Chains A and B, each alone.
Chain A
Amino acid sequence: MTYIAKPSLHHPSLTCNALGYTRRDYEGRISTLCAGCGHDSISAAIVRACWELAIEPHRVAKLSGIGCSSKTPDYFLSPSHGFNTVHGRMPSVLTGANLANRELLYLGVSGDGDSASIGIGQFVHAIRRGVNMVYIVENNGVYGLTKGQFSATADAGSVSKKGVVNTDAPLDLVGLALQLGATFVARSFSGDKEQLVPLIKGAIAHRGAAILDVLSPCVTFNNHAGSTKSYDYVREHNDAINKLDFIEAREEIVVDYAPGELIEVEQHDGSVLRLRKVDVAYDPSDRVAAMRYLHERQAAGEIPTGLLYVEENAQDLHARIRTVAAPLNTLDTAALCPGAAALEKINAGLR
C-alpha cells in the first residue's frame, strides 16, 4: 500500500461534467491493494463511467462482501452510500435495499471467491429474480486475501504460483448468468478500459440484472506463466466479439456503418448501446446462440469478451412483483396500513 494520500492537485485541463464535478470528485481513498492489482483499474473505470454519465454520487449504493475485490468500494465514489456485507451475502442485502428504495443505483462489487464460492447461492438467486443492479465480479481465479489458493473460477489445468496444477472444473460466471436469465451479460478485462468503461456505462443504464465478469489479474499470486488469468495470458487469448459505444439519450445518433456490422439496442432511459461487431456471426440478442458460441470459443481456449447478451425489453424484480412506483421507504403509515376494511377485503379474496 501507499502511505501518502493522492495529492488533490490536478491537471489544469481537467473538465467538469453536467453536475459540475471533475473526474477526481468521483475518486475514493487511496487503494490498499497490492501495487498493480487489476481491481484498481476496475475502480478507475467505475470512476470514469460514473463521471461521464454525470451520476449523482449520493444516488449510488456500493455493496460488497469480503475479499480483495470487496475492499474496492472504499477506493471509488467516496460520497456514495456503502455497505460491506458478510462474506458472500452481498446479493441478498442488495436485493433488500433495492426493494426498500428502488431509486438508487445499486452497484454490487464482488470477487470470484465472494460470488462463485461462498456466495454462489446468493449470486444465482439475485440474478434469477432480475434485481435491477450492476453486479461486477472482479475475477482473478485465486483467493488473494488468503495467499493465492485456487478459486472456483480457476481453469482446470492452470498452475499456481507454487507449481500446483488445478484439477477442478471451473465455474463460468458468464455461462451461469446467461442460464439464469440475466438481461445484460458482459465480460471484460481490467487492462482494457476502452472496452470496460462503455460496458459499465451500458450496465448502469440497463434496467435489470446486469452482470459484468471482469478478468482482473492478481499481480501477487496469479500473474505467472501457467496462469490463465495473468495480464499476458488474457491479452494473448482475448477474443473481443464486439465493441460497444454507449450513447446517452441526449446525444445525436450518427450511423456510418454498413448494415450487418452494427447492432443498436435502445434502453429504458433512451440511451443506446451501439455494438460494432467484430465477429459478424455473433448475435447478442439470442440467449441460446450466445451460450453455444461462448462454449465453443471457451473450449477452443479463447476468452470471448464484450457485450455477450442484452435483452432489449428487460424486466426487473419490481416489475415482476408489481410494487408501487414510489420507493417503499417513502410510503407513509396510511399507505402501509390501509386499515381493517382493506384487510377484510384481502382475507375475503383468500377464502
Chain B
Amino acid sequence: MQPTDIRNPAYFHKVVDCQWACPAHTPVPEYIRLIAAGRYSDAYLVNWKANVFPGILGRTCDRPCEPACRRSRVEESAGNKPEPVAICRLKRVAADLKDDVRARLPKPARKHNGMRVACVGAGPSSLTVARDLAPLGYQVTVFEADAKPGGFMRTQVPRFRLPEEVIDEETGYILDLGVEFVANRRIESMRALLREGYDAIFVGSGAPRGRDLDLPGRREAAAHIHVGIDWLASVYFGHVSKVGRRTLVLGGGNTAMDCCRSARRLGGEDVKVIVRSGFDEMKASPWEKEDAMHEGIPILDCRVPKAFLHDNGRLTGMSFEKVRVEYVDGKRRLVPTGEPDEVHECDEVLVAVGQENAFPWIERDIGIVFDAKWDMPVVDKLTFQSTLPHVLFGGDAAFGPKNIIWAVAHGHEAALSIDLLLGGADTRDRPGPAVELVSQKMGIHEWSYDNEVSNDQRYKVPWADPAKTLKSMQLEVELGYDAQTAWKEAQRCLNCDVQTVFSDNLCIECDACVDICPMDCISFTWNGEEADLRTRLSAPALNTGQALYVSAPVKTGRVMVKDEDVCLHCSLCAERCPTGAWDMRKFFLEIAHAGDGAPKAGKEKAA
C-alpha cells in the first residue's frame, strides 16, 4: 500500500466516526470534552455553529452519529451489550445547563450588502440559511404559512418530546439576527415570488403531504381515519384533543411513533402500531420504538392492511393479511403466509405510512425543471441549486423526507452556494474545510485531554413518572442527564479526534507501541496489498470500512500499519514511544459555511 496521506483532511476526519457521520459534521468529541469540563455554554456554541438547533436536536435528532460511534465497536469484547456514547443526549445537556449565550451569538449585520434572499417555509433548512446569511449582511425574509417559526419541529413533533420553549428559544436566536419573519403567509405562486425581485430564493418548505391508504372502506369511514402528520398538526393547534379508545396506527416510521404515543395521551387506552414490514426493518429509530413500547404500545409487524371495516360509516376495525419477509437477490419481498386475515377492532386509525413532496405552487413554465418520473424539482446534489440558478432547494423539499440534521446540513450548503453565487463565484468551486492538527503533549506522560478510558456502560436518561407523562401532552418524558451523570457519560467518549500521528523517520522499531496497545491495533510488517495486509496484522483488520494507516518504510524496510477500527485513542503508544515517533494530535475540522470566502485548500496547521 502507498503511505497514508494524512495531509488530506478527509483521512483523519473519517477516523472521527461521529463527526464524519453527522450530516452537518458537528465536532462531537470537542463538545463532549467541553461538557466534561463543565463548559456547557462553550459546548453549546460549538454545536450551535455546526448544527444550529442543539436544544432541539439534543431531544429529537435521528443520531446518525451514534451507530457510527467507535465506542460500540470497542465494547464488543466487553461482554455486555455494546452501546455508543449517548452523543445526542449529551448535546441536550449542553443546551439545558448552559448560561445565557445571547451575548456570544453573532450580531445583526450593521450594514446590509444590498442582496435580498427569500426563504420559503420556516423549518430547519430555511432557518439555517437565514442564520448563515443574515450576519453577513444579506437581507433575509422568511415566509411561513403558520404563525410561528419551526415548521415540522413545531407542528408535528409532539410537546412531550420537545417543549415549545426550546423551539422558541432556538428559532428566536435566528430571527434576532435581523431576519425578517413573515408569519401566516403561504407562498402560493413561485412566479409571483420571483417577480418580487429577490436575488436568491431558498425553498425549504418540507414534505408536507402525508401519504394516504386507498383501501376499501376508506371513504365510507373517513371520519375516523386520519393522515398522521395532519393529525399531529391538528393536535398541536388544539383542533384535536381526544382519540378513540381503541386506536390503530399504521406505519413504521418515527411519525407513527409520535402518533401512537400522542394517541396514548389523548384517551387511547388500546393503541397498537401495525406495520407491513418486519420489526427490524422499520424506518423508526430503535430508541423511538423502545420509547413507544415502554409506554405499553405493542408493535405488530408483517401485517399488510387490506380493508377498513365499518358499520354504515362507523369504523369497527381493520383487516390485515399476514406476510413474511423474504429476500430475493437482496430485494425485500413480503410473501403472504396463507394464514387467514387478521382483524383488529378499532375506533380510530392514524395513517402514518410516509410523506411526499408537493409543489402545486411552483409553476412548471418558469424555468425550474421537474423530474418527469417523481415530479420533483431537479436539484444539484452539491450546490442545491435548481435549474434556475438563484432558486435553491433544501431539507425535505430537495430530496424527499429525511430529518432535521439533514435539513440543517442542506441549509449550510445552500447558504454557501447563495454566498458564492451572489459574490460572483462559481458555486461548484467550494471552499475546503478549516483544519487544525495540534499536539496534545503537555509533559512526559501528560496530555491536554483525559486519556484514561472509562469502562462504564451507557447511562440511561432518566424519565418522568409514566403515571404523569401518559396523562399529559405537554409534560416532557425524558428529563435529561444531570451534570454528574453527564460527566460520567462524557467519559465514555474515546476522544477519537485526538489522532495517533506517526513519524516514520523517528521510529527505532523497539516494539513498545505494539506491546502496549490494548487493542492490538499496531503492527510492523512487510508491505503488501491491502487485502493481504489486513490478514497478517497483530489482530486481523476485518472492518474494511475503517482505514489502515500505513507509514513509509522504517529502517528495517518494514512499514508501520495501524488499524484505525478499534483504537481507544488512549495515548499509550505515544507514552511508551521513546523517540516521540507517535504523537497525539487533536484534529479539529470545521466545514466551510457561508462567508468562509473564496475556495481554498484545507489549511493545515500542524504543530
Interface class of chain A by DSSP: loop
Q: Which of A7, A223, A232 has the most CB of B within 10 A?
A: A7
Q: Which of A1-48 contact B (CB under 8 A)?
A: 1-14, 24, 30-31, 34-38, 40-41, 43-44
A58, CB-defined interface residue at 8 Å: no
Q: Which of B75, B453, B542 has the most CB of A within 10 A?
A: B453
Bound Cα distance from A221 to B446, whole angstroms:
23
Tell me which of B163-171, B476-484, B570-578 binds A.
Answer: B570-578
Query: A191 with B509: in contact, given A7-B568, A12-B566 (CB under 8 Å)?
Result: yes
Which residue on chain A has the smallest CB distance to residue B538?
A11
Q: Chain A 210-226, CB within 8 Å of chain B: the 1/0 string?
A: 00000001011001000
Bound Cα distance from A41 to B578, whole angstroms:
13
Determine which of B445, B508, B515 lies in contact with A40 in the assembled complex, contact meaning CB atoms within 8 Å: B515
Q: Which of A240-262 contact B (CB under 8 A)?
A: none
Determine which of A3, A11, A40 lies in contact with B512 in the assembled complex, contact meaning CB atoms within 8 Å: A40
Q: Are B539 and A14 neighbours in the complex by a CB distance under 8 Å? A: yes
A235, CB-defined interface residue at 8 Å: yes
Query: A223 with B508: in contact, given A9-B568, A14-B539, A36-B578 (CB under 8 Å)?
Result: yes
| A190: chain B residues within 8 A (beta carbon) | 510-511
Chain A: interface size category: 35 or more
Query: A41 with B520: in contact, given A4-B451, A9-B75 (CB under 8 Å)?
Result: no
Determine which of B73, B509, B511, B556 lies in contact with A12 in the assembled complex, contact meaning CB atoms within 8 Å: B73
Q: Are A41 and B519 neighbours in the complex by a CB distance under 8 Å? A: no
Q: Are B508 and A2 neighbours in the complex by a CB distance under 8 Å? A: no
Bound Cα distance from A190 to B510, whole angstroms:
8
Bound Cα distance from A190 to B568, whole angstroms:
26
A231, CB-defined interface residue at 8 Å: yes
A193, CB-defined interface residue at 8 Å: yes
B579, CB-defined interface residue at 8 Å: yes
| B521: chain A residues within 8 A (beta carbon) | 11
Number of interface residues of B (CB under 8 A): 38
Bound Cα distance from A2 to B582, whole angstroms:
15
| B597: chain A residues within 8 A (beta carbon) | none
Bound Cα distance from A220 to B570, whole angstroms:
24
| B555: chain A residues within 8 A (beta carbon) | 232, 235
Bound Cα distance from A6 to B513, whole angstroms:
12
Determine which of A2, A37, A38, A41 lies in contact with B575 in the assembled complex, contact meaning CB atoms within 8 Å: A2
| A223: chain B residues within 8 A (beta carbon) | 508
| A7: chain B residues within 8 A (beta carbon) | 453, 455, 518, 568, 570
Write the nearest CB–CB distance from B562 to chain A, whole angstroms.
Answer: 13
| A13: chain B residues within 8 A (beta carbon) | 539-540, 542
Q: Are B455 and A8 neighbours in the complex by a CB distance under 8 Å? A: yes
| B77: chain A residues within 8 A (beta carbon) | 9-12, 14
Bound Cα distance from A6 to B520, whole angstroms:
12
Which residue on chain B has the smallest CB distance to residue A36?
B578
B78, CB-defined interface residue at 8 Å: yes
Write the nearest CB–CB distance from B28 to chain A, whole angstroms.
Answer: 20
Q: Are A41 and B512 neighbours in the complex by a CB distance under 8 Å? A: yes
B5, CB-defined interface residue at 8 Å: no
Which residue on chain A has the smallest CB distance to residue B574?
A35
B74, CB-defined interface residue at 8 Å: yes
B76, CB-defined interface residue at 8 Å: yes
Q: Which of B25-70 contact A (CB under 8 A)?
A: none
Write the nearest CB–CB distance from B441 to chain A, whole angstroms.
Answer: 13
B452, CB-defined interface residue at 8 Å: yes
Bound Cα distance from A10 to B520, whole angstroms:
8
Q: Are A11 and B578 neighbours in the complex by a CB distance under 8 Å? A: no
| B512: chain A residues within 8 A (beta carbon) | 35-37, 40-41
B136, CB-defined interface residue at 8 Å: no
9 CB < 8 A contacts A-B: A3-B445, A6-B518, A7-B568, A11-B77, A13-B539, A14-B520, A35-B577, A41-B512, A219-B510
> What residues of chain A have their CB less than 8 Å away from a CB belonging to chain B?
1-14, 24, 30-31, 34-38, 40-41, 43-44, 190-191, 193, 217, 219-220, 223, 231-232, 235
10 extra interface residue pairs, beta carbon distance < 8 Å, beyond A220-B578, A231-B508: A2-B576, A6-B516, A14-B520, A31-B576, A40-B576, A41-B515, A217-B510, A231-B510, A235-B509, A235-B555
> What residues of chain B have their CB less than 8 Å away from a CB belonging to chain A?
73-78, 445-446, 451-453, 455, 508-512, 514-516, 518-521, 539-540, 542, 555-556, 566, 568, 570, 572, 575-579
Q: Which 5 A-B pairs have the closest CB atoms?
A: A36-B578, A44-B515, A7-B453, A12-B76, A11-B539
